[in-house]
A = this chain, B = another copy of it.
Amino acid sequence: MEPQSAQAPPGPRGAVLWPSLIVYQIFGATADVGMTVFSTILCKTAARDKEHVYYLKPVSADSSVGSAAAYVRKYAGGVYCTTAMFPEYHLQENKEMGALASGRKVPPDWELLHKIRGAALQCANHGGRWLFIETTGGVNSPGPSGTTQADLYRPLRLPVILIGDYKPGGISHTISAFESLRMRGYDVEMVLMFWGGSYRNYRFLTQYFWSRYKIPVKTISLPPPTSAGDDKLQRYYHLASATEEFANYRDTLHEVHISRIDRLVSMPETAKAKIWFPFAHHNPPRPEDLIIVDSAHGDHFQTTRMELFYSFVYDGVLLPTYDGSASWWTQGLGHGNSTLSLAAAYAAGRYGDVTMAGAVHEPGLKLAETLLGGLKNPRLTRAFFSDNGSTGIKVALKMAVAAASYRYHWGEADDIEVLGLNGTYHGENHTVGYMKSTDLNRFDYNVAWHEPKGLWLEYPWVSCVRGKWTAILPASLGDLMGADTLEFASLHEVFDLEMRDAYIREIYEAYIRCMLDEGKNMGRKFGALIVEPIVIGAGGMLLVDPLFQNALVDMVRRSETCFGTSLDHHEDDAHSWKGLPVIFDEVFNGLYRLGRFSAASFLGVDPDISVHAKLLTGGLFPLAVTLASESVFPTYEKETSNTLLHGDSYTAHPVGCHVALESIRMMQTMEQRGEWDWARRENGWSVAADEDNKENPVEPIVWSVWDADFVVWLSRQRNKPSLLVRSTWALGSVLAMHLEVDLSVTAAADDIGAAETLEAVLRQDFVGAGGGSPWNVHTRAMGDTLYLMASQTTSKEDIALIEERLRDVFAE
């Protein structure tokens, strides 16, 4: 019973916001706190100035079908009340007597949200000024589907009025209910409650909420009992709404709304003035190009549509925007995931920061064990923690270079380089000197202190070219092979390493050997082999031929004499590094990004050092773990024992480690439950076991959430002059499109400019469809490569929608 996805097809994903319409959602600290009484007062007070006021109670509890709306209509007067949308469905709390027991169909969460959005749109279009949406029961009472309400309504993320509890135990409920809302990203703007009864909960709560959160608590006396008669009730509501005090409350609610709108409108200019943006080619960005993210949920940002703030179009000013780069490749379990949110809070509450320097805490140790266990790589025994992928790679390099230097007796006078693949980018951002480990790539422009130190090999990479899965050979290999490309019937065939042509492997090995010998003959010294297994990410989103990487690791391990002469006795067991320590950079492509726990598992080789980050913390905050073999770990005798005398202040911060544990657990559970089986089995990636048995396809080695036939179709599209598809591939949650961008058409000065243009073109295309498109898609291009990255929770239906949009864009 993880929260049901509120994102099922084909509903929109938007939060609800209009400048002209003030919407609040009313949550109760528990059942029976007078929610409908307060709704009535709020409605009546709001209606005093002849403004259009709407009231909506989408779900009713069993005994009160339609009655709340009738009550409000009766006592508030002049208020448009919408009867419950799902009167036939009851809270799960009452389900013994309710819908489920009687066998009625339970509406999915997305349908409920869709109806609420529709109702709100109607209010906006009919000149509504206020809309109060009342929930039922307590904040965590289950809605019709069983999803608890705080989770259920979260995609709308409406500002909240919390009705406090005036009864015994009510202080506790009210605070806990507030905390439950807060940890899900709700803004509680006001607490309302009765001051009646012998308890004076409001006194405590007024001070509590104001001093901690600057949230006002407002009270009113209990209404007369219904038995006192209608007149008394009418009088109660009349007085309540006529008081200056409640008019003030209304004004406060009004101001909160206006402030929010004003802030959203001013954010682009403020940001332009105050922020120095990263990853930006030209500074400062134009305010109109900035994406203002009001919140995010699931795969979608809620971004502002600036052009609508002062328009007469009554579309909401928030546009759901699919996070097509998985927030820089970090998101896997959705934005605003309440399970991860609570996990972060738990570790913050239990520890705060505890340094790992000479100390150990459970989340850090457990994460080390979980990663070591999950990777199933018998070489890896130890974890070193650092702050992000970049530092994780630096740690790996230090480990490797120190171990190689020790074994091969190199000293400070020796100039140690690394061996790697051409054009790769191992994630370092600001670290000038460290970028020595990569050659010049697209991110290196005028960076002082960057001196590449390494030998970078060319390599064959795989993509679907005009409908055909193809390995594209670099000139050096092509010459040896007498061909520019190799063709395959499927991507499965590419990855079925045991069935691959032995002759091809020999040529790969000959090339690698040649390069290693060349390095040796030039007297160059290498401290590590570093590769991103399978997919080169920021270096251009290239799918490397796994046979080549397999051969590369193999050759490095068999070519010890190319690297140095070990005079020492060193333990030479099956799990010790040989030749060079092999580093796998899985920062981007590990942890289910490509469909498996590790990218290394596709290659069938075990690295000596493995680096993990990004998806590790489910997209909350930075953390990296570098896992190492015992054979690179320094012991007392080694001079290298100062290799990692450094560390980060927040090394192995418990909050990050605990969230990582939760994040990994959730993804492993998804795998165990077969939640990606649709992609694995029904998405065209399966292959026939043999010619005679096409009915029973074998489980594919590789699969993607992106449809295999779609990828093939896309690779053939060359109809749009500015966007000619060169090739495409997909694996796991990644879809890559290598394009030919006509610079004369895009008017961009270079490939980074081209990327920016490409993003804009696509964005425009997606939005351009207007009302027809349920949501926008936000992408980040790299040069002439456009990619889309789903999260690990993106549904089949959402993928289909994006594919449909891409078909429109490219087929034009």
A482: chain B residues at CB < 8 Å are none
A398/B620 contact (C-beta < 8 A), A301-B354, A368-B275, A644-B278 known: no
Contact of A387 among B364, B622, B626 (CB under 8 A): B622
Q: Judging by beta carbons under 8 Å apart, are B433 and A435 in contact?
A: yes
Residues 384-427 of chain A, each 1 if its beta carbon lies under 8 Å from chain B, else 0: 11111111001101100110010000001000100000000001
Residues of B within 8 A of A93 (CB): 168-172, 199, 201, 204
Given A1-B211, A354-B293, A386-B430, the answer on whether A270 and B96 have CB atoms closer than 8 Å is: no
Q: Are B352 and A176 in contact (CB under 8 A)?
A: no
Number of interface residues of A (CB under 8 A): 184
Chain B residue with the shortest CB-CB distance to A354: B293
B621 and A622 within 8 A (CB): yes
Enumerate chain B residues within 8 angstroms of A338, measured Cβ to Cβ. Answer: 349
A416–B450 Cα gap in the complex (Å)? 12
The listed residue with most B CB atoms (<10 A of its CB), out of A31, A348, A433, is: A348
Q: Which residue of B lies closest to A335 (CB)?
A: B352
Contact with B along A197-240 (1 / 0, CB 8 A): 01111001001100110000000000000000000000000000
Q: How far is B285's CA from A382's CA once the two chains are assembled, in angstroms?
A: 13
Return A622 CB to nearest CB of chain B, in Å: 4
| Contact residues in B for A186 (Cβ distance below 8 Å) | 349-350
Output the least CB separation between A16 and chain B (Å).
15
Q: Looking at A180, A291, A430, A644, which has the most chain B CB atoms within 10 Å of its CB? A: A430
- Main DSSP-derived SS at the A contact region: mixed
Chain B positions within 8 Å of A208 at CB level: 1
Q: Say whether A334 faces chain B, with CB atoms less than 8 Å apart.
A: yes
The residues of B that contact A94 with a CB separation of less than 8 Å are 199
Determine the chain B residues whose CB is within 8 A of the CB of A78 once the complex forms. none
A685 shortest CB reach to chain B, Å: 28
Contact of A641 with B by CB under 8 A: yes
Knowing A168-B93, A382-B275, A648-B622 are in contact, say whether A353-B331 is a contact too (CB < 8 A): yes
Q: Would A211 and B358 be within 8 Å (CB), given that A185-B351, A401-B448 are in contact? A: no
Chain B neighbourhood of A263, CB < 8 A = 362
Cβ A653 vs Cβ B179 within 8 A: no
A383-B276, A433-B436 given as contacts; is B446 within 8 A of A639 (CB)? yes
Q: If A182-B345, A649-B614 touch, does A141 touch B172 (CB 8 Å cutoff)? A: yes
How far, in whole Å, are A706 and B263 apart by their CA atoms in the complex? 43
Known: A394-B430, A397-B432. 5 other contacts (CB 8 A): A341-B348, A391-B429, A398-B447, A433-B434, A621-B656
Interchain residue pairs with CB less than 8 A apart (19): A94-B199, A137-B171, A138-B172, A138-B176, A173-B173, A183-B183, A267-B365, A275-B365, A279-B357, A293-B359, A295-B351, A330-B353, A331-B353, A398-B448, A431-B431, A433-B436, A446-B643, A447-B642, A614-B649
